[in-house]
Amino acid sequence: MALRRWTLKSERFVPWLVPITVLVLWEAAARSGFIEQRILPAPSQVAVAFWDTAKSGALFHHVAISFNRALIGLLVGGGLGFVLGVINGTSRHAELLLDSALQMFRNVPHLAVIPMVILWFGIDETAKIFLVAIGTLFPIYLNTFHGIRTVDRGLIEMARVNGLGPFAIFWRVVLPGAMPSVLVGLRYALGIMWLTLIVAETIAASSGIGYMTMNAREFLQTDVVVLGIIIYALLGKAADVATKLIEHRALAWHPAYHANSNATA
């Protein structure tokens, strides 16, 4: 019994062991001068940088702008990808017309078009949103398409026999059946969303976290650069947690998400 309690406690504690040790060693190395501050600032300095930028409001300003770009880009790109996935997934004619063009477009690394995007939109907001939108479109398109195509034919047949019309079948059978796949697409898209945004903001921006870190580099403020990296990590983690919550809600029916499955295990 005591052992089990200890195991439970240690299960919570053990994952933190390595990060904390690294932080402690890092701090010690920085303070002793083993690592030069210009190369890598001490964690405590990063914390101070966090406090300073937060107090001046600069941090919040940049995070809000980046978050905004990410969200709008995801809504536009993901929304378009979802709609295209639904159209091509449900209609063979649409697939014939659109799919090969989309596949060609998909295989172009979307960051390769940055020079063109700068020419078209300058370093305007549209440029960043456009890039994020292109980056998030394809993972959601592919997974939605695949999800719809792999919905159990037997269920659709059952629905037809029970008198459901095409719309009812779409809403009650096809879409929920494709949902696990769509959500996998969303998780991929979120990863690509941050990646795209970081690159776009470091190359062509006058605000946002990417701009903040690039600007800090000019003045050798390594603490702010590291802070920017940490913020990206946190935002990425937050996005992941958000999708997990969505999955738990949307896929509550799935045996893997049953609320009481942990209790009985």
Partner 1 sequence: MSPIARKLEPGPAAPANDGSADTAGAHENLGQPLKLDNLHVAFGARKVLQGLSIDIPARQFVAVVGRSGVGKSTLMRLIVGLDQPSEGQVLIAGERVAGLQDSVRLLFQDARLLPWQTVLSNVGIARMPGWKETARGALRDVGLEDRQNDWPAVLSGGQRQRVALARVLVGHPGVLLLDEPFGALDALTRTEMHALLERLWLRHRFTTLLITHDVAEAVALADRVVVIRDGRITYDVTVDIARPRRRVDPVAVALQSKILEQV
Name the residues that contact partner 1, by CB under 8 A.
Answer: 154-155, 157-164, 168, 172-173, 176-177, 179, 251-255, 258
In the complex with partner 1, the residue whose CB is nearer, 245 or 252, is 252
Written as six digits, the tokens of 258 are: 């049953």
Q: How far is CA 158 from the centre of its chain?
A: 37
Task: From residue 77, give the alpha-carbon distance in Å to each of 87, 197, 219, 254.
Answer: 15, 13, 35, 28
Beta carbon nearer to partner 1, 61 or 149: 149
Q: How far apart are CA 52 and CA 30, in angstroms?
A: 20
Min dist. Cβ of residue 158 to partner 1 (A):
4
Closer Cβ to partner 1, 33 or 163, answer by number = 163
For residue 204, the minimal CB distance to partner 1 (Å) is 43
Dmax (CA) of the chain: 76
Distance CA 129, CA 118 (A): 12
CB of 154 to partner 1, least distance (A): 5
Q: How far apart are CA 226 and CA 76, in angstroms?
A: 30
Q: In angstroms, rounded to a whole number, what is the distance separating the alpha carbons of residues 97 and 106?
A: 15
Side-chain-side CA neighbours of 86 within 13 Å: the count stands at 14
Query: Nearer Cβ to partner 1, position 54 or 168?
Result: 168
Residue 190: CB minimum distance to partner 1, A: 23
**For partner 1, the closer CB: 65 or 151:** 151
CB of 178 to partner 1, least distance (A): 11
